[in-house]
Amino acid sequence: MSDILKKITDKKISRRNFLKATAAGTAGLALAGCGTALAPVGAELDAAAVNGEGEWIPAACWHNCGYKCYNSALVVDNVVVRQKTDDTEPDSFNKPQLRGCLRGRAQQQQVFGADRIKYPMKRKHWEPLTGGDKSLRGKDEWVRISWDEALDYVAAELKNAKEKYGNRSILMPNFADALCDFNNSINAFGGYTNVQDTGSLGTYLFVSGVLGIIPYGNDDANDRLDLLKSETIVLYGCNPAWAAAGLPSHNLMHAKEAGAKFIYVGPSYNETANLVEAKWIRVRPGTDIAFLLAVAYVMITEDDPLSNPLIDWDFLNRCTVGFDAGHIPADATIKENFKDYVLGNYDNQPKTPEWASEICGTPVEDILWYAKEMHKDKKVSILHSSAPARCNNADDFPQILMTIAAMGGHFGKPGHSCGSCQYYFATNSGPKLVQLGASGAPILPNPCPDSIMAPELWDNVLNGKYNYTAPALWGDLASMGEKDIDIHVIIHSYRNTLQTNQGVAKGIEAHRKVDFVVSCAYSLNASAQYADIVLPITTQWERHSSYLYLEIYYNREVQFFPSKVIEPLYEAKSDLWIGRELGKRLGINVNQVYPLSEEQRYFNAIAGATVINKEGTGYETLVTITEADLAWWKQKHGKVDGKLQQGRIGLKELMEKGIYKVERHEGDNYGHITYQSFVEDPDKNPVGSKSGKFEIYCQTKADSINAMGRSTLKPYPTYIQPLNGYEQSFKDWDKKIKGDYPYQVTTPHYLRRSHTILDNLPWLREAMRNPVFISAVDAAEKGIKNGDAVLLTNPYGKVLRQASVSQRLMPGYIEMPHGTWLELDEKTGIDKSGSDNYLSAPITTGCGVSGYNTQLVNMEKYDGKPLTPDYLWPQRIIKI
Ligand SMILES: Nc1nc2c(c(=O)[nH]1)N[C@H]1C(S)=C(S)[C@@H](COP(=O)(O)OP(=O)(O)OC[C@H]3O[C@@H](n4cnc5c(=O)[nH]c(N)nc54)[C@H](O)[C@@H]3O)O[C@H]1N2
Ligand SMILES: Nc1nc2c(c(=O)[nH]1)N[C@H]1C(S)=C(S)[C@@H](COP(=O)(O)OP(=O)(O)OC[C@H]3O[C@@H](n4cnc5c(=O)[nH]c(N)nc54)[C@H](O)[C@@H]3O)O[C@H]1N2
Ligand code: SF4
Ligand SMILES: [Mo]
C-alpha cells in the first residue's frame, strides 16, 4: 500500500486515474473525496496490465456462500486491476472448471472499496469503563485512534468485566473457535458466552444424529455421478442456483440430460426449479410436516404389495423402528406409533390430503401424485435444504422427511438417496478426495459453557435470564433450565450478529444497554455501526491465513491453494495480529497461544495435503517439496521450516496454479452412495441412533427436545401448528377471516451477497436489485404494480422496499431476500433496505430454532416518497 500511495504522491500515477483504477477507489479511502464511481481501470494501471506487467495471483473467494470457486487477480503495484475465474484447465464433465459467480468477480470492489474501515476508531461520545452516552450508539460520530490506544481500551474493558462480573459477562457470538484466530486470546483469558444458533441447519442441528441420519454435510447424499442414475429428483425447499452457485446447477443439468424428471417442493417456483423445469408442488412455509403426513397417509392407504406396491416393507422392517405397532423400539415409553397416528387412531383426525391441503395449500391431486412418485420401484433422490427446518415447530421435519424416504426405500442404493442439497455439499456428497493437512496451530477451547439460543439472545441480554440448554443437550438433561446471565461486553468478530440474528430492534436496545461493544469489520455494517470501538480487519486477499477457510471449503474433488494477493490496505490487521497484541495486554502467554506465523501455518497445511490413491483405498502425499521449492517459498512468502518430500505435484507449480482437481470417471473408485453398508446389512453396520436403525419412533428426540422446556413432542413425527405460521395469519381460522398480519414471509439466501457480506458493493447492488417478491394475486388485490414501493409491517418493525410482482409465488406469500444492510430511520422506525431480521420475530419453539421462515407481516402500497435504487445510495465512507 505504501508503495502505491507513494507513487501517487510522486505523481507517477495520477490521483485521478488511481481513483478510477479501483472501481470504488482504493485511494479514495486515504485521499478523501472518492465517490462510488464505477469508472474503468485507470489509464496507467490499465496500460501496465495491457503491456503484460503485473502478476496473476490465485486469490481466495472465501465467503460463507455455499460453493467455492476459483478466483485469480492481476496485481499491478499492489492494486488488483483485473480478475478472472477458472481457466486453469479445459472444462469437462469429468473435471469441470470452477467458475465464479457475480460476487466473486466483483471481489475487488470489496477489498478496494471506498467504504473500507481504514483505521481503528472510537465513538466520539464514548467514555472508557462507563460507555459514555450509550444512547448514541449507532448514530455517533467516529474519531480515529491508534492501534495502541484501541487495544489498550479493549483490554481494559475486558479486564474490568472479568474482574467485576466474570468471563460469562463477555458475549462473543460466533460459529466456532477454529474459524477465528482472535478467539484464542479470549479463550486463554477465561472464555466468553457464545450464542447457539440453529442457523444453517434449523432443527437438523439437534434432530438428526438421534434419528440415525447424518445431520448434513459431506456424506449424507450420493455423489454427482450417482445422481445421473436417478429417475426422479425431488428438490425439497432448496435453491442451489442462488444459494450454492457454481457446480450444483451444472450437476443438476447433467442429471436432467441423463433423463431425470424434477419435482420442486416449496412456496415459490425458484431459480433452480426453473432451471431444471421441475414440476412445482406448492407448499406454504412451515407446513411441510402436514404435507408429508398426507403423503404418508396416501402411501399407507393405497399401498397394495401385489397391485400397487408403493411401500418398501423390506426396507422398513430391516432398517427402521417405530413405523407401526409391531416395530416399537425397546426404549419406548408410550404405546403409540407413526402409522396409527397417520390413520387418525389417536386424535380422530386421519391425515388425509384434504386435511393437509387446507393447511399447506397443496392441491389434493398434487399430494396424491407426489405420494405415487415416491414408490419403491422408482429411483428417487430427495435433495433437501434446511429451509423447511428453519421454521418454528419444525422439530419433526427431519424425521418425517426421513420417514417418507424410508417408506419408499430411497436410501443406500444407486440412484436412491435422501440428503442435503445446501451449501458446500450440494449435489456431490462423499468424503474429500483431496484435502489440506493440519496447520499445527492450536485451537484453545472456550472454558465458559454458557451459550444462549439465538432467537432469545437480545431478550436474554436485556432481562438477565436465559434457558440453559445447548452445552448439556444430549447428556445431562437434568441440568437444563433457567440461569442468570449478566452481559456487559459484546464482541463482534466474524459474525454480523446484530444484523443476522432475529429481532434487530431488540438487538439495538441490548447494544445500548451493555457497558462496551467492540467490532472487527471490513466496513461499517450494523454490528460495527452500533459499536464503541471498531477494529479494521484485513480481507483474505491481504493475508496468508486463508487456510482456515480452505479447511471448510468443500468440493470433494477440488482443493484451492490461494496466495496472499496484496499487502494490507491502510491500517487493517489480521485476526492473528489482533489476537497477539490484545493477548499481550490481557497478560496471556501469546507465544504459547499463537506459536506459529501465518506463513508457517499455511505452509504446514499445504505440505500435509493428501490426495486419494488410485484404488480409492487411502490417501497419499500431494505435494513434492524440493530445495528449490523451499528457496522459492522463502523468497516469495518468507522463511518457513519445511522438509523435503515427494508427492504428485511440485510446490511452486501448485501454488502458481492455485488449485488441484481430482478427475472423475464413470466406474472409478471414488463414487459415494451414502448409507450403503447400513442398508445392505443394518445389524452389522448400524447407524448412530440408539437402536442402530432409522428411528421413526425416537424416544431420545422427544425426551431431549422436551427437556429444553419449550415443547411436548411425541417420539414420532406429528404436525403442530407453527408459532407465527400460516394458521396464525388468521383471526378466525374456522371462518377463514384473516388477521392483522395476513402474509407469510421467508428470507431466501440471495445471490447478490453472502449473508450481509458484499451487500455494500455498488456493482452488485446495480447488477442485482433487492426487491421483495410478491405474488401477482396479492398485488392485484392491493393495487400494487411491479416496482411500486411497499411497506411491510409487524409488531417488530417496518420495512420499505420495491415490489417485484410474480406468478412464481403462492398467494399470501412474500419473499424477502436475506442479509441487506439495515438503513434505519429511527424517527419513523422504518428500515428502507429490506432488512429481513428487522421484521423477524425473536421468538422460538422446541429446540430453540431460529425460525426465519415462519414470519408474518402486513403489506400496503407505500404512498410516501419513492425509494431510490440502493446502488445510488451514498457509501458509508467514514471521513476521519
Ligand atoms: N448467494 C448466497 N448463497 C448462500 C448464502 C448466502 O447468503 N447467499 N448463504 C449460505 C448459507 S450459510 C446457507 S445456510 C445456505 C442456505 O441455503 P438454502 O437453505 O438452500 O437457502 P434458502 O434460500 O434459505 O432456501 C431455499 C428455498 O427454500 C424455500 N423455502 C423457504 N421456506 C420453506 C418451507 O418452509 N418449506 C419449503 N418446502 N421450502 C421453503 C425458499 O423458497 C427457497 O427457495 O445458503 C448458502 N449459500
Ligand atoms: N432472517 C434470516 N436470518 C438469517 C438467515 C436466514 O435465512 N434468514 N440465515 C442464517 C444463516 S444460515 C447464517 S449462516 C447466518 C450468517 O450470519 P453472519 O455470520 O453473522 O453473517 P455474515 O454477513 O457472513 O457476517 C460475517 C461477519 O464476519 C466479518 N468478517 C469477515 N471476515 C472476517 C475475518 O477474517 N475476521 C473477523 N474477525 N471478522 C470477519 C464480516 O465483517 C461480517 O461482519 O445468518 C443467519 N441469519
Ligand atoms: S459462489 Fe461464492 S466462492 Fe463462488 S465465486 Fe461466488 S462468492 Fe465466490
Ligand atoms: Mo448458514
CATH number at residue 283: 3.40.228.10
The answer to whether residue 74 is domain-embedded is yes
Output the CA torsion 281→284→290→292 (10° steps): 30
One domain for residues 697 and 831 = no
Q: Dig out the grid coordinates for 109 from the structure.
A: 470492489
The answer to whether residue 367 is domain-embedded is yes
- Ligand 2 atom nearest the C-alpha of 173 is 20
pLDDT at 246 (0 to 100)? 83
Over range 761-786, report the average pLDDT: 97
- Output the CA 200–ligand 4 centroid distance in Å: 3
pLDDT at 511 (0 to 100)? 98
Please tell me the number of the ligand nearest to residue 360's CA.
Answer: 1
The answer to whether residue 515 is domain-embedded is no
pLDDT at 48 (0 to 100)? 82
- Output the CA 580–ligand 4 centroid distance in Å: 29
pTM: 0.95
Q: Give me the residues paired with residue 123 across strands.
A: 142
Over range 51-65, report the average pLDDT: 90
Residues near ligand 2 (Cβ within 6 A)? 64, 180, 182, 199-200, 493-497, 500, 520-522, 525, 527, 537, 575, 747, 749, 754-757, 818, 836-837, 840, 852
Q: Identify which of 755, 839, 854 to mutate to test ligand 2's pocket (most ligand atoms within 8 A of the CB).
A: 755
- Output the CA 243–ligand 1 centroid distance in Å: 6
Please tell me the number of the ligand nearest to residue 241's CA.
Answer: 1
- Is any atom of ligand 1 closer than 6 Å to the C-beta of 797? no
Over range 693-714, report the average pLDDT: 95
Q: Are 12 and 42 in contact (CB under 8 A)?
A: no
Q: Dig out the grid coordinates for 534 from the structure.
A: 471498531
Give how far the C-alpha of residue 39 lies from the chain's centroid of Cα atoms, to the nearest Å: 33
Task: Specify the DSSP element, H or E, that contains 28.
Answer: helix 26-30
Q: Are 100 and 61 in contact (CB under 8 A)?
A: yes
Q: Give me the residues paired with residue 418 across strands.
A: 382
One domain for residues 694 and 815 = no
- Is any atom of ligand 1 closer than 6 Å to the C-beta of 749? yes
pLDDT in tens, 242-259: 999 889 999 999 999 999
- Ligand 3 atom nearest the C-alpha of 754 is 7
What is the average pLDDT value for the chain, to the nearest integer?
Answer: 92
Considering only CA atoms, which of 228, 234, 229 is closest in space to residue 366? Answer: 234
Please tell me the number of the ligand nearest to residue 181's CA.
Answer: 2
In Å, the largest CA–CA distance within the chain is 87
- Is any atom of ligand 3 closer than 6 Å to the C-beta of 246? yes
pLDDT at 36 (0 to 100)? 34
pLDDT at 546 (0 to 100)? 60
Q: Identify which of 62, 64, 65, 83 to mutate to test ligand 3's pocket (most ligand atoms within 8 A of the CB).
A: 65
One domain for residues 771 and 692 = no
One domain for residues 278 and 421 = yes
- Decide which of 92, 111, 130 is a domain's last residue: 111
Grid coordinates 457497558 are at which residue? Answer: 515
Separation between Cα atoms, residue 388 and residue 204, nearest integer Å: 10
Over range 773-798, report the average pLDDT: 98
Please tell me the number of the ligand nearest to residue 237's CA.
Answer: 1
One domain for residues 794 and 682 = no
Q: Dig out the grid coordinates for 641 from the structure.
A: 521450516
- Is any atom of ligand 3 closer than 6 Å to the C-beta of 245? yes
pLDDT at 67 (0 to 100)? 66
The protein residue whose alpha carbon is closest to atom 9 in ligand 1 is 65
| Secondary structure string (H, E, C) spanning 727-774 | HHHEEECCCCEECCCCEEEECCECCCCECCECCCCHHHHHHCCCCEEE
The answer to whether residue 763 is domain-embedded is yes
- Comparing 303-317, 465-479, 507-521, 650-664, which segment has the lowest mean pLDDT? 465-479
- Decide which of 111, 145, 180 is a domain's last residue: 111
Please tell me the number of the ligand nearest to residue 269's CA.
Answer: 1
Band (pLDDT 50/70/90 cuts) for residue 11 is very low
pLDDT at 472 (0 to 100)? 56
Q: How many domains does the chain have?
A: 3
Over range 422-451, report the average pLDDT: 92
Q: Identify which of 67, 746, 757 to mutate to test ligand 1's pocket (most ligand atoms within 8 A of the CB).
A: 746
The answer to whether residue 558 is domain-embedded is no
pLDDT at 25 (0 to 100)? 40
DSSP result, 599-619: HHHHHHHHHT-EEE-TTSS-E
Considering only CA atoms, which of 395, 298, 314 is closest in space to residue 720? Answer: 395
Considering only CA atoms, which of 253, 262, 284 is closest in space to residue 370? Answer: 262
- Output the CA 245–ligand 3 centroid distance in Å: 7
Q: Dig out the grid coordinates for 727 from the structure.
A: 394458521
- Is any atom of ligand 1 closer than 6 Å to the C-beta of 422? yes
Using the CB atoms, write b or e for 340-358: b if 16+ within 10 Å: ebbbeeeeeebbbbebbbb
pLDDT greater than 90 at residue 50: no
- Is any atom of ligand 3 closer than 6 Å to the C-beta of 100? yes
Please tell me the number of the ligand nearest to residue 384's CA.
Answer: 1
pLDDT at 641 (0 to 100)? 95
Domain that holds residue 18: 4-111
pLDDT at 38 (0 to 100)? 31
- Output the CA 86–ligand 3 centroid distance in Å: 12
Separation between Cα atoms, residue 162 and residue 188, nearest integer Å: 13
The answer to whether residue 50 is domain-embedded is yes
CATH of the domain at 745: 2.40.40.20
- Is any atom of ligand 3 closer than 6 Å to the C-beta of 63? yes
Q: Identify which of 67, 360, 749 to mutate to test ligand 1's pocket (most ligand atoms within 8 A of the CB).
A: 749
- Output the CA 497–ligand 2 centroid distance in Å: 7
Over range 339-343, report the average pLDDT: 98
- Is any atom of ligand 3 closer than 6 Å to the C-beta of 749? no
One domain for residues 232 and 379 = yes
pLDDT at 46 (0 to 100)? 77
Side chain identity, residue 188: A
One domain for residues 238 and 361 = yes
- Is any atom of ligand 3 closer than 6 Å to the C-beta of 558? no
Q: Are 835 and 816 in contact (CB under 8 A)?
A: no
One domain for residues 699 and 787 = no
pLDDT greater than 50 at residue 1: no
* Element counts in the chain: helices (H) and strands (E): 33, 37
pLDDT at 551 (0 to 100)? 66
pLDDT at 681 (0 to 100)? 98
Over range 115-121, report the average pLDDT: 97
pLDDT at 470 (0 to 100)? 60
One domain for residues 38 and 104 = yes
pLDDT in tens, 212-221: 999 777 789 9
Band (pLDDT 50/70/90 cuts) for residue 423 is confident
Q: Are 573 and 401 in contact (CB under 8 A)?
A: no
Q: Dig out the grid coordinates for 397 from the structure.
A: 421435519
Q: Are 863 and 104 in contact (CB under 8 A)?
A: no
One domain for residues 315 and 397 = yes
One domain for residues 98 and 231 = no
pLDDT at 20 (0 to 100)? 46
- Is any atom of ligand 1 closer than 6 Å to the C-beta of 748? yes
- Ligand 3 atom nearest the C-alpha of 100 is 5
- Ligand 1 atom nearest the C-alpha of 240 is 20
- Is any atom of ligand 3 closer than 6 Å to the C-beta of 548? no
Over range 440-461, report the average pLDDT: 95
pLDDT at 124 (0 to 100)? 98
Long-range contacts of 156-159 (CB under 8 A, 24+ apart): 156/128, 156/129, 157/128, 157/129, 157/489, 157/515, 157/516, 157/518, 158/186, 158/189, 158/489, 158/586, 159/586
Please tell me the number of the ligand nearest to residue 822's CA.
Answer: 2
- Decide which of 82, 111, 140 is a domain's last residue: 111
The protein residue whose alpha carbon is closest to atom 46 in ligand 2 is 500
pLDDT at 474 (0 to 100)? 63
pLDDT in tens, 500-535: 999 999 999 999 999 999 999 999 999 999 999 999
pLDDT at 852 (0 to 100)? 98
Q: Dig out the grid coordinates for 440 from the structure.
A: 499445527
- Is any atom of ligand 1 closer than 6 Å to the C-beta of 725? no
Percent of the chain with pLDDT over 70: 93
Q: Identify which of 757, 760, 794, 876 to mutate to test ligand 2's pocket (most ligand atoms within 8 A of the CB).
A: 757
Separation between Cα atoms, residue 542 and residue 321, nearest integer Å: 53
- Is any atom of ligand 1 closer than 6 Å to the C-beta of 238? yes
- Ligand 3 atom nearest the C-alpha of 758 is 7
- Is any atom of ligand 1 closer than 6 Å to the C-beta of 66? yes
pLDDT greater than 80 at residue 471: no
pLDDT in tens, 130-157: 999 999 999 999 999 999 999 999 999 9
| Secondary structure string (H, E, C) spanning 37-102 | CCCCCCHHHHHHHHCCCCEEEEECCCCCCCCCCCEEEEEECCEEEEEECCCCCCCCCCCCCCCCCH
One domain for residues 697 and 801 = no
pLDDT greater than 60 at residue 224: yes
Report helix, strand or coil for 364: helix
Separation between Cα atoms, residue 689 and residue 696, nearest integer Å: 11
The answer to whether residue 43 is domain-embedded is yes
pLDDT in tens, 226-245: 999 999 999 999 999 999 98
Q: Dig out the grid coordinates for 349 from the structure.
A: 383426525
Side chain identity, residue 71: N
Question: Within 13 A of 170's CA, how many CA atoms are on the CB side?
Answer: 29
pLDDT at 352 (0 to 100)? 98
The answer to whether residue 26 is domain-embedded is yes
Please tell me the number of the ligand nearest to residue 555's CA.
Answer: 3
Band (pLDDT 50/70/90 cuts) for residue 23 is very low
